[in-house]
């Protein structure tokens, strides 16, 4: 049969790849520089999983016609798949010099930057490509993922707006979109997408593994275990992505079990399979927790050192200003309102009343705030909204309008304050729907650094300050995989973390004494030692007649689904003391911190 491009296309279309390859080679033996035949040969070789040969074809095409951006882009994609990211970046960049408006190439280059953990560069490129061609769904979804990794919540929401009316997505894009929704706490949308993918594309291991992750995250463990039993042995899988996802699903479920050795083994396998070091930090955090559970403290600290070193490299891209020596990552903790800032007019203290004010739960992260939130949320007269940065949003709004924050809060007129309260309730209304007579619980640990704003807007609001042994707090933070770049810097060493903790507590002590809020100091250990009387005390403080529902918070949390904080698995269990005094197994690491912590240890009544 006489070879021709039409013949090759027909053979490829019906899956006769060997014959198509032969026809390409016949044409090229007659016309070695015939571009269409070489393009088809590269494509047919790719379909046969012979990527190295296909890559050589595309390289030859770039030499034959270096002004064809498509040749450079195709070469780059194969190089990226082979892990040759620097060479792939150069090829993508060459392609974009030839055709700067090709948003598909921009998307692929952005994806390469994401693979390297360079999320700032990826977001810039992908968001701009989406702006130019908003209908290219792959690029839009990659832009969402990069924006999420950069902590750009507003950007994520804007990019996702109207997603229900998007054109049909490929299987992989549906799974990626489901992952985004899962991270945002939009579990129902994530589950819908994953089940839709299973219905239309079959039981691909990657999709099943992601559904297991989702069920684990919303505490539907029985359903997750059923799916886990149906996963194939990862060693039988030839697709690297499927194999990785299956091992990861086993790993996340193992962390819910009682076999830390198996958990560690699974996570260490994933470390080996994770090509880019920048993507390994979450795995090292998991290994550290497995080692901690097994009592292997030295191995836990070694894994944590690896995790924090990687996180610090990533954070340096996002918050380079925090990397200078001596910079305090919790910058607001260094600010002060003084008595002279308050003036003599105290009429602001009369605004509102307890019954219509939010209930604020604050404290340094990992101090028991999530347990308190779930306790309050279990009462039918109260509803929580997970951690929302509403006070931070108001502070930024004030700073945008030139108000020196927090020093000039008391220069606001009552009309200004009333407007800010309306803005706060507008934000709340977007997060939760309050039933008649229901009160909102605003739990955000670091709102303790917004105490002046809380008191200025809601002077009669009950504020619960969650306290816990400082060393347990610091150890728990150090072992936690925080997403906030600022917190990644703060927690990068126990020494830096201890300084940040002390600065935050100094901020609180100063402003509590000055502003005299309606506050309950609640020590985690006291709550566990005398649970029912302490629950009654909490109920009396916030003004609920029957505090009995608070006792069964763990049952309520099991039914709630998504809980946004790291302790989502712990708060579905009855109150227990397993985490009390855990720091003592790491006492050697805390010995150098004694002078730093002495002040707050005495202040809150703790000792070594």
For 317-376, write each residue's pLDDT tens digit. 888 898 888 889 999 999 999 999 998 888 888 888 888 899 999 999 999 999 999 999
How many percent of the chain have pLDDT more than 90? Answer: 75
How many percent of the chain have pLDDT more than 70? Answer: 97
Q: Is the pLDDT of residue 111 over 70?
A: yes
pLDDT confidence of residue 10? 93
Q: Is the pLDDT of residue 467 over 80?
A: yes
Domains of the chain are: 338-603 (3.40.50.300)
Of 252, 333, 259, nearest in space to 568 by CA:
252
Distance, in Å, from the CA atom of 251 to the CA atom of 270, rounded to the nearest integer, reads: 9
pLDDT confidence of residue 130? 94
Dihedral, CA atoms, 584, 588, 592, 596, nearest 10 degrees?
Answer: -10
pLDDT confidence of residue 3? 74
Which has the higher per-residue pLDDT, 356 or 556? Answer: 356
> What is the mean pLDDT of the segment spanning 366-393?
91
* Eight-state DSSP code of residue 278: G
529 pLDDT tier (thresholds 50, 70, 90): very high
> What is the mean pLDDT of the segment spanning 491-499?
96
Distance, in Å, from the CA atom of 446 to the CA atom of 367, rounded to the nearest integer, reads: 11
Q: Burial of 504 by CB count in 10 Å (0-12 exposed, 13-18 middle, 19+ buried)?
A: buried
> What is the mean pLDDT of the segment spanning 93-102?
95
Distance, in Å, from the CA atom of 218 to the CA atom of 585, rounded to the nearest integer, reads: 31
Of 522, 503, 543, nearest in space to 604 by CA:
522
> What is the mean pLDDT of the segment spanning 282-309?
96
Q: Is the pLDDT of residue 102 over 60?
A: yes
594 pLDDT tier (thresholds 50, 70, 90): very high
Q: Burial of 427 by CB count in 10 Å (0-12 exposed, 13-18 middle, 19+ buried)?
A: middle
pLDDT confidence of residue 407? 94
* Inter-residue contact 500 to 482 (CB < 8 Å): no
Cα 203 to chain centroid distance, Å, stands at 27
Of 441, 467, 432, 446, nearest in space to 373 by CA:
441
Q: For the chain, what is the mean pLDDT?
A: 92
Angle at 162 between CA 159 and CA 166, to 5 degrees: 95
In order of 103, 332, 333, 446, the CA distances from 396 in angstroms are 34, 12, 16, 15
Question: How many alpha carbons lie under 13 Å from residue 353 in its C-beta half-sphere?
Answer: 3
Distance, in Å, from the CA atom of 1 to the CA atom of 174, rounded to the nearest integer, reads: 43
Question: How many alpha carbons lie under 13 Å from residue 88 in its C-beta half-sphere?
Answer: 22
The backbone torsions φ and ψ at residue 239, rounded to the nearest 5 degrees and listed phi first, read -75, 120
* Inter-residue contact 562 to 217 (CB < 8 Å): yes
pLDDT confidence of residue 562? 60
- Sheet (strand 382-384) strand order: 382-384, 439-443, 359-362, 462-467, 518-523
Gyration radius of the chain's alpha carbons: 28
279 pLDDT tier (thresholds 50, 70, 90): confident
> What is the mean pLDDT of the segment spanning 132-158?
91
pTM of the model: 0.82
Which has the higher per-residue pLDDT, 584 or 386? Answer: 584
Distance, in Å, from the CA atom of 597 to the CA atom of 591, rounded to the nearest integer, reads: 10
- Which H or E run includes 538? helix 531-542
128 pLDDT tier (thresholds 50, 70, 90): very high
Q: Is the pLDDT of residue 567 over 70?
A: no
* Inter-residue contact 465 to 362 (CB < 8 Å): yes
Q: Is the pLDDT of residue 516 over 60?
A: yes
Distance, in Å, from the CA atom of 408 to the CA atom of 400, rounded to the nearest integer, reads: 13
Distance, in Å, from the CA atom of 210 to the CA atom of 214, rounded to the nearest integer, reads: 6
Distance, in Å, from the CA atom of 371 to the CA atom of 147, rounded to the nearest integer, reads: 30
563 pLDDT tier (thresholds 50, 70, 90): low
pLDDT confidence of residue 326? 83
Q: Is the pLDDT of residue 301 over 70?
A: yes
> What is the mean pLDDT of the segment spanning 33-61?
94
420 pLDDT tier (thresholds 50, 70, 90): very high
pLDDT confidence of residue 574? 77
- Which H or E run includes 462? strand 462-467
Q: Is the pLDDT of residue 566 over 80?
A: no
pLDDT confidence of residue 561? 61
């Amino acid at each position: 049969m006489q070879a021709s491009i039409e013949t090759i296309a027909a053979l490829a279309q019906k899956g006769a790849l060997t014959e198509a390859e032969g026809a390409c080679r016949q044409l090229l033996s007659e016309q070695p520089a015939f571009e269409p035949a070489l393009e088809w040969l590269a494509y047919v070789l790719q379909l046969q999983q012979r990527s190295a040969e296909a890559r050589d074809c595309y390289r030859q095409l770039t030499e034959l016609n270096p002004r064809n951006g498509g040749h450079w882009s195709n070469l780059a994609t194969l190089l990226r798949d082979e892990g040759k990211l620097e060479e792939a970046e150069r090829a993508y960049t060459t392609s974009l010099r030839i055709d700067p408006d090709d948003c598909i190439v921009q998307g692929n280059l952005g994806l390469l930057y994401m693979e390297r953990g360079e999320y700032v560069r990826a977001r810039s490129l992908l968001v701009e490509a989406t702006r130019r061609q908003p209908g290219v769904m792959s690029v839009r979804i990659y832009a969402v993922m990069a924006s999420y990794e950069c902590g750009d919540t507003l950007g994520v929401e804007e990019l996702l707006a109207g997603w229900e009316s998007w054109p049909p997505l490929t299987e992989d894009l549906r799974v990626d979109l489901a992952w985004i929704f899962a991270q945002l706490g939009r579990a129902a949308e994530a589950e819908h997408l994953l089940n839709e993918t299973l219905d239309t594309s079959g039981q691909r291991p990657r999709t099943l593994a992601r559904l297991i992750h989702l069920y684990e995250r919303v505490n539907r463990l029985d359903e997750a275990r059923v799916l886990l039993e149906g996963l194939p042995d990862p060693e039988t899988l030839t697709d690297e992505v499927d194999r990785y996802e299956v091992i990861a699903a086993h790993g996340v479920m193992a962390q819910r079990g009682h076999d830390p050795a198996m958990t560690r083994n699974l996570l260490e396998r994933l470390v080996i399979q994770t090509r880019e070091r920048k993507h390994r930090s979450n795995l090292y955090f998991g290994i550290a927790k497995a080692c901690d559970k097994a009592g292997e403290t030295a191995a836990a600290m070694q894994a944590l050192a690896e995790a924090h070193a990687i996180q610090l490299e990533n954070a340096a891209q996002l918050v380079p200003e925090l990397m200078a020596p001596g910079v305090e990552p919790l910058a607001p903790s260094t600010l002060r309102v003084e008595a002279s800032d308050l003036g003599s007019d105290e009429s602001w203290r009369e605004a509102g009343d307890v019954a219509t004010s939010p209930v604020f739960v604050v404290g340094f992260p990992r101090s028991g705030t999530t347990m308190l939130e779930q306790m309050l949320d279990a009462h039918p007269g109260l509803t929580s909204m997970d951690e929302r940065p509403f006070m931070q949003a108001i502070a930024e709004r004030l700073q945008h309008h030139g108000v020196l924050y927090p020093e000039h809060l008391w220069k606001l007129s009552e009309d200004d304050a009333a407007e800010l309260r309306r803005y706060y309730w507008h934000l709340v209304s977007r997060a939760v729907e309050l039933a008649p007579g229901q009160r909102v619980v605003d739990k955000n640990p670091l709102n303790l650094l917004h105490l002046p704003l809380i008191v200025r807007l809601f002077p009669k609001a009950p504020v619960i300050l969650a306290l816990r042994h400082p060393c347990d707090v610091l150890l728990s933070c150090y072992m936690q995989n925080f997403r906030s770049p600022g917190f990644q810097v703060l927690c990068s060493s126990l020494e830096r973390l201890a300084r940040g903790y002390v600065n935050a507590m100094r901020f609180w002590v100063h402003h509590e004494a000055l502003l005299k809020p309606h506050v309950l100091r609640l020590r985690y250990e006291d709550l566990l030692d005398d649970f029912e009387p302490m629950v009654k005390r909490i109920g009396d403080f916030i003004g609920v007649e029957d505090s009995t529902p608070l006792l069964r918070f763990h049952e309520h949390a099991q039914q709630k689904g998504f809980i946004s904080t790291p302790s989502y698995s712990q708060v579905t269990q009855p109150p227990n003391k397993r985490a009390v005094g855990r720091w003592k197994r790491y006492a050697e690491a805390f010995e150098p911190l004694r002078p730093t912590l002495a002040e707050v240890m005495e202040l809150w009544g703790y000792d070594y």
